[in-house]
Amino acid sequence: MRSDVKPDRRSRDNARVTITDLSQALSLTKGTVSRALNGYPDISETTRIRVIRAAQAMGYRPLSQAQAIKTGRSCSLGLVIELSEHDAHAPFLAEFLAGLTQAASAEGWTLTIATSESEGDTLRIMRDLILHRKADGFILPRVLWDDPRIAFLDRENAPYICYGRSKNHAETSYFDALSEASMAEAVTWLAQLGHERIAYIGSASHYAYSHLRRDGYRAGLEQEGLVFDPALMIEEVLDPEEAAKATRQVLAMARPPTAILCATDTLARGVYDVAHEMGLKIGSDLSVIGYDGSPEAQAMWPRLATFAVDNRKAGAALGAMLMARVRDLNAPLQQDLIAAEFRPGGSTGRPDKTPEELAHHVIRLSVDRSRND
Amino acid sequence: MRSDVKPDRRSRDNARVTITDLSQALSLTKGTVSRALNGYPDISETTRIRVIRAAQAMGYRPLSQAQAIKTGRSCSLGLVIELSEHDAHAPFLAEFLAGLTQAASAEGWTLTIATSESEGDTLRIMRDLILHRKADGFILPRVLWDDPRIAFLDRENAPYICYGRSKNHAETSYFDALSEASMAEAVTWLAQLGHERIAYIGSASHYAYSHLRRDGYRAGLEQEGLVFDPALMIEEVLDPEEAAKATRQVLAMARPPTAILCATDTLARGVYDVAHEMGLKIGSDLSVIGYDGSPEAQAMWPRLATFAVDNRKAGAALGAMLMARVRDLNAPLQQDLIAAEFRPGGSTGRPDKTPEELAHHVIRLSVDRSRND
DNA sequence: CGCATTGCCGAAACCGGTTTCGGAGTTTCT
DNA sequence: AGAAACTCCGAAACCGGTTTCGGCAATGCG
């Protein structure tokens, strides 16, 4: 009876093939096998091929943890999500993660995720992740115009890739959507429908994209030969409530805008709220365009016209860029841009009133409502 | 000139304190230090305290990668997201991750995330993550009624916690929202407003929660003394489009429902679409209630009444449960339930028509519209 | 008081890899 | 032909931990 050879152990331990298994099968030392696989020059080409063949045949893949303690690299990408603005992350997070993990796992890497409560927290966490080799580098989502993470990681000499273009984007590796072009495109779309007064509701200026989108709006106006009215541009708008306030403000003008362009879909919600509250019909009385292509846009009625960013592709690109950067921190910077796709919706249409008529309409509706109270 | 002692290295290497540093400072061997910290019984209490004190003072924290190669544990939680249904994940993902990572990092653990394209893919990936010690156990989101992941992980003898109650939930550790209670609560809410015919649009029955919510709907009817009409219950509805179809179907009845209860907010979108298309006013002609508390619900007009699940809390609980389970796979099962919070919205109100009147109204509206064409 | 326990720690092997060093065998050059 | 230079691989140290084993000193017991 020799059947009691720990059959329980076998099922799990036998599964992984280690470098020692491989070296024994090849009658080489594990040092040689390691060098062969890692491209050291002091291994003959014939041996190298023999080793690689056997490694594939036996299904050998080094344990990244074991590698990490000597090399310092754990083959994992870091992503720290700042919760204070999680709302801003929610819509695109799933697709984004999909892209990232797809790129990572294609090369046997993994994604390590952490969340933080504040800016300082984020830096602490990133340092900790690097120190404990839970991450070799970082993807920086929602890049700020003047982002402390960039300065920090530069100082720490850690690899990173920005999702977005910061103030100094020329000196960083980044991936970004051409949102300025989208904003200009939106203006063109509205102008061709016949809109002449187009308002812009922009988000907090510490976000890098705010600058770009605002500039895109202005570029679009110029391109279409429309005059820029500073009163129609409201920035530093953080959430739907503030967007609603901004909407009321521009609709109270003597010559209100017949269309409102929003830096994000979330802000557009505020515009819708005011329209519903006032009784304005979106798509005829007032046209609206957002940006992000979020699920929210799908839930609004009429459908919000918006620009859909392929966040999965963005994640995949960022992951690949970061891995390259981890492998060689001195490689030339990588910078890539992608265009967002316009997704029309019922929220835009020909203006059925001039600005002056719209102003009267707004007043009449407000009188009606106060009479009902 | 002794200044060339690699000052660059120091800045990074000095940062981590290893067990060797600690043992030298204490004049002990690293073996002793390790046993002291890991609670071996052959260490005197005085030494143990001395070691723990010094470890804290020097800020020592073991490198989990180094531990992993010997112990097989990497102190990381695994989460595999199935992309084929990423839509279902998107809304609550950010909050959920927040809770998970918060629980994890509180104990120095991390979260490893992967995505998969299919069911078989998921199993492969989980095996791989365990084999390569990227994850010590798994959180299973969106548990299915008969979930292959459970059978698989049982077979692999790997720790896991379910988010949701499967068919055999009595034999698993789980965390879940009491969505059946919420559905009953929704029926009560509607019944007290005066609704007597309440339809139910349910999701795919392979999801564990579908069964619970449907049962909750029926329990609610019974509790309120309302008759159950099978024609008012439509299940296996996957997306807003199908929900729209279901809505048209029930509204075409001779005695249509004056309220529709949806298993998810996303399905409620389909109801809204049909209402808008037909010209029905939500909140008076037709009341709607959803479930999930997603951002979509906030974007609808009037606001969708829904049940908000605290996904952050869920994530935190699941993380803690999984860590406990990894530490001791033989510990008793942990099972916990949480109540979702009802979030009223303008989508419900007293029915201003009887079912018969509503049927006539629907017909009249449809005639009007066809006349306009 | 002597002997068997017990408590407590050091020494060393080990985990699965990487990297340095040195030397045996071949080739090249004079 | 002999020295120098290469090629290529084995041996062994190393990374930062964990775990087994063995032994010394202090204790318990008769």
| CATH at A26 | 1.10.260.40
Nearest protein residue to nucleotide C10 (CA to C1' distance) is B29
Q: Is the CB of B22 under 7 A from strand C?
A: no
Together in a domain, B201 and B348? yes
Does the structure show a pLDDT above 70 at B179? yes
In angstroms, the CA of A327 and the C1' of C21 are apart by 26
Q: What token pair was written down for B219?
A: 């329990």
Does the structure show a pLDDT above 90 at B13? no
Within-domain flag for B6: no
State the burial class of residue B224 (Cβ atoms within 10 Å of its Cβ: 0-12, 13-18, 19+): middle
Predicted pLDDT at B235: 98
Cβ(B101)–Cβ(A114) under 8 Å? yes
Together in a domain, B207 and B254? yes
Total number of domains in chain A = 3
Which element (helix H / strand E) includes A34?
Answer: helix A30-37
Q: Is the CB of B120 under 7 A from strand D?
A: no
**What is the rounded (10 degree) CA torsion for B127, B79, B242, B271?**
170
Higher pLDDT, B11 or B339: B339
Which of B's residues 3-62 have CB atoms within 7 A of nucleic strand D?
16, 18-20, 30-31, 34-35, 37-38, 40, 42, 62
- As a whole number of angstroms, the distance between CA B310 and CA B199 comes to 26
Look up the domain containing A210 and give its range: 179-305+344-372
Count Cα neighbours of A323 within 13 Å in the Cβ-side half-sphere.
20
Q: What does DSSP assign to residue B198?
A: E
C-alpha to C-alpha distances, A339 to A141, A142, A175, A306, A307, nearest whole angstrom: 18, 17, 11, 13, 9
Query: Does A105 sit within 8 Å of B98, measured CB to CB?
Result: no
Nearest protein residue to nucleotide C18 (CA to C1' distance) is A70
Q: Which residues of chain A make contact with B273, given a CB cutoff of 8 A?
A: 301
Instruction: Give the residue among B126, B133, B131 at the shortest CA–CA distance from B147.
Output: B126
Cβ(B183)–Cβ(B193) under 8 Å? no
Together in a domain, B117 and B198? no
Which element (helix H / strand E) includes A125?
Answer: helix A119-131
Please write the tens of the pLDDT for every residue from B51-63: 999 999 999 999 9
Within-domain flag for A9: no
Write down the residue that tokens 């179809």 correspond to: B245
C-alpha to C-alpha distances, A134 to A112, A315, B9, nearest whole angstrom: 7, 19, 20
Write down the residue that tokens 């049962």 correspond to: B215
State the burial class of residue B127 (Cβ atoms within 10 Å of its Cβ: 0-12, 13-18, 19+): middle
- As a whole number of angstroms, the distance between CA B372 and CA B247 comes to 23
Strands A341-343 and A306-308: antiparallel
Three-state secondary-structure class, residue A331: coil
Does the structure show a pLDDT above 70 at B296? yes
Query: Does B101 sit within 8 Å of A94, measured CB to CB?
Result: no
Sheet containing strand B287-289, edge to edge, reads: B233-234, B198-201, B259-262, B287-289
Cβ(A182)–Cβ(A342) under 8 Å? yes
Question: Is residue A302 reached through a cis peptide bond, with omega within 30 degrees of 0 on the bond before it?
Answer: yes
Q: What does DSSP assign to residue B281?
A: P
Q: Is the CB of A29 under 7 A from strand D?
A: yes
Please write the tens of the pLDDT for every residue from B116-127: 989 999 999 999
Together in a domain, A162 and A33? no
Q: What token pair was written down for B200?
A: 């139910």
Name, in order, each residue with C-beta under 8 angstroms of B277's C-beta and a sequence gap of 6 or more: none
Of A113, A132, A301, the CB nearest to B63: A132
Together in a domain, A23 and A81? no
Query: Does B115 sit within 8 Å of A98, measured CB to CB?
Result: yes
Together in a domain, A275 and A353? yes
Instruction: Please work out, in degrees rounded to the nearest 5, the angle formed at the alpha carbon of residue B13 by the alpha carbons of B9 and B17.
Output: 160
Question: Could you tell me if A97 lies within 8 Å of chain B, comparing CB atoms?
Answer: yes
- As a whole number of angstroms, the distance between CA B142 and CA B209 comes to 8
Low-confidence ranges of chain A (pLDDT < 50): 1-13, 86
- As a whole number of angstroms, the distance between CA B233 and CA A246 comes to 43
**What is the rounded (10 degree) CA torsion for B361, B364, B369, B373?**
170
Within-domain flag for B4: no
- As a whole number of angstroms, the distance between CA B303 and CA B297 comes to 6
Q: What token pair was written down for A359?
A: 């102003």
Cite the beta strand spans of B185-319 per DSSP E.
198-201, 233-234, 259-262, 287-289, 306-308
Q: What token pair was written down for B40?
A: 């071996």
- As a whole number of angstroms, the distance between CA B21 and CA B58 comes to 9
Q: Is the CB of A18 under 7 A from strand C?
A: yes
CA A366 to chain centre: 40
- List the 61-80 stretch of B: residues with Cβ below 8 A of A: 61, 63-66, 68-69, 74, 76
| Chain A interface test: which of B11, B125, B132 (most A C-beta within 10 Å) | B132
Residue B150's DSSP bridge partners are none
User: Where residue B88 sits, what CATH number does that domain have?
Assistant: 3.40.50.2300
C-alpha to C-alpha distances, B202 to B183, B206, B250, B260, B267, nearest whole angstrom: 11, 11, 13, 11, 8
> What is the C-alpha radius of gyration for chain A, rounded to an integer number of angstroms?
27
Query: Does B98 sit within 8 Å of A93, measured CB to CB?
Result: no
Alpha helices in A167-310 (DSSP H): 179-193, 208-224, 240-251, 265-278, 295-299
Query: Does B89 sit within 8 Å of A90, measured CB to CB?
Result: no
Within-domain flag for B112: yes
Amino acid symbol at A358: L
Of B69, B93, B299, the CB nearest to A300: B299
Together in a domain, B265 and B248? yes
Residue B138's DSSP bridge partners are B78, B160
Within-domain flag for B10: no
Q: What does DSSP assign to residue A134?
A: S
Together in a domain, B257 and B325? no
- As a whole number of angstroms, the distance between CA B190 and CA B188 comes to 5
Q: What does DSSP assign to residue B80?
A: E
Predicted pLDDT at A235: 98
Q: Which residues of chain B make contact with A155, given a CB cutoff of 8 A?
A: none
Residue B304 backbone phi and psi in degrees, to 5: -75, 125
Within-domain flag for B216: yes
Within-domain flag for A54: yes
- As a whole number of angstroms, the distance between CA A241 and CA A247 comes to 10
Query: Does A101 sit within 8 Å of B114, measured CB to CB?
Result: yes
Q: Which residues of chain A make contact with B93, given a CB cutoff of 8 A?
A: 90, 93-94, 97
Together in a domain, A139 and A269? no
- As a whole number of angstroms, the distance between CA B134 and CA A62 comes to 13
Within-domain flag for A261: yes
Residue B33 backbone phi and psi in degrees, to 5: -60, -45
Together in a domain, A190 and A272? yes
The distance of A296 to chain B (nearest Cα, Å) reads 5
Amino acid symbol at B356: E
Together in a domain, B260 and B199? yes
Together in a domain, B221 and B352? yes
- List the 196-235 stretch of B: residues with Cβ below 8 A of A: none
Which pLDDT band, with edges at 50, 70 and 90, does B236 fall under? very high
Cβ(B351)–Cβ(B287) under 8 Å? yes
